[in-house]
Amino acid sequence: MSNIASDASSAISKTSIYFKAWVPDDNQDDDQVTAYKDDYYTPVIGFNSNNDQTAIVTCVQDDECKAGNGQDGSSYAHTVWDEDTETGTINLCDPWFDNTNFPSTSDMLTHCTDNQRTVEEFETPAATLLHEFLHLGVCDNIQAPFQSAGEKYGSVDCYNLARTDGDAALENADNWMLVTIGTYWDKTCNRRILTGVPALDNPPTTTATATAGTQATSVAPVPPPYATGTCAFHLTETQDCDSNYGNNLYGNVLMVDNNKATIGQTVNDDDHPIGYAMDAGNSYSFDSKLPYPLVITGEHENDYVQFTYGSLSWQSKTPNGGGTCTVGGWDPRDGPVCGLRFGNQNAVG
């Protein structure tokens, strides 16, 4: 659970399709992203960091388990709230332990190649705990301590809730769990995961036919939010003086469409002053107006960059696989200058 939260925290952004799907339109900004990281991911990660967070967990197949929507009509888990002490206990139901019908995170990796599998179908036991964690009252700026009446579940219902009742969506555990699942598996599988919301996965096109003596109107398909043709992007790669070799490459991207209009750009902030991490094992998933993220991985060995977009994959030094690159050099030429009397100097390429 903590690992999922940690990976999702490093990849979440306000331009993410998952953030846009299940967060109310009025809250799709940098402040909400920061709140999401600080008030949700940080406490969850705390479970795996020197006992910064603790929770009471029971395993009782009670009546609420039997009345749920998991395997064989039973819930996977639920939270029991004590009004007197204002504390919650997470109760794990029998289906939560059924690895055959409810695969673990490691077993779910085999489904990365299933392009029809939706975010909701990537739920694992760990993801269920992320949902229940929100009911414990430790994420004050995101989730009310406990919400039972009117709680919504699933991709479509949570999407509709975010469009019709933003305040309720911000207090609905499944909304935040779905954002996390989508973000995590997008990064893990290196591809866009279907949201399960038809309006997002399959933008509707309306056609009409007319028979003799009748009149029909046709609604043109909604055009994509970019000029089709050839897209291009400029990657500025920075190598800093981090002593942890293999964890010191950062990327800034500016992407344009066929008309040279900007359709995506890295936004630096206090947490990312020189860009987003793009080392092997910690790729940069760059979101734009295009349907899929551009996944960028910097390789120290042989000094090249690997790019993946949907089913396309190519390298900065190899003009094949769907893209071509013009590569500049490092400044300074030999890489970052570190430990000098007047301070460190990053290398920019």
Segment 303-315, tens digit of pLDDT: 888 888 877 788 8
Look at 289 and 335; give whichever has higher pLDDT.
Answer: 289
- The residue written with tokens 């290398």 in the block is 347
Does residue 4 contact residue 140 with C-beta atoms inside 8 Å?
no
**Distance (Å, whole) CA 81 – CA 104:** 27
Model confidence at 220, in pLDDT bands (50, 70, 90)?
very low
What's the sign of the alpha-carbon dihedral 117, 121, 127, 132? positive
Give the E-state strand segments of the chain in sequence order.
56-58, 77-82, 87-92, 232-239, 249-256, 262-265, 276-277, 284-286, 294-299, 304-309, 312-315, 347-348
Q: Mind giving me the DSSP string for 119-144?
A: SGGG--HHHHHHHHHGGGS--TTTS-
> Using CA atoms in the order 119, 128, 33, 135, what is the torsion angle rounded to 10 degrees?
140
> Phi and psi of 56, rounded to 5°?
-90, 125
Neighbours of 105 (CB within 10 A): 17
Computed over every residue of the chain, the mean pLDDT equals: 76
Segment 231-278, tens digit of pLDDT: 889 998 888 877 666 678 899 999 998 899 998 899 888 888 888 988
**Distance (Å, whole) CA 241 – CA 344:** 7
Look at 340 and 150; give whichever has higher pLDDT.
Answer: 150
Q: Per-residue pLDDT for 213 more than 60?
A: no
Model confidence at 87, in pLDDT bands (50, 70, 90)?
confident
Q: Per-residue pLDDT for 63 more than 70?
A: yes
pLDDT value for 253: 93
**Distance (Å, whole) CA 26 – CA 214:** 43
Segment 152-198, tens digit of pLDDT: 888 999 999 888 888 888 888 888 889 888 988 988 898 889 998 88
pLDDT value for 71: 43
Segment 95-149, tens digit of pLDDT: 888 888 788 888 889 889 888 899 989 988 888 887 887 777 666 555 444 454 5
Q: How far is CA 277 from the centre of its chain?
A: 15
pLDDT value for 118: 92
pLDDT value for 7: 64
pLDDT value for 217: 44
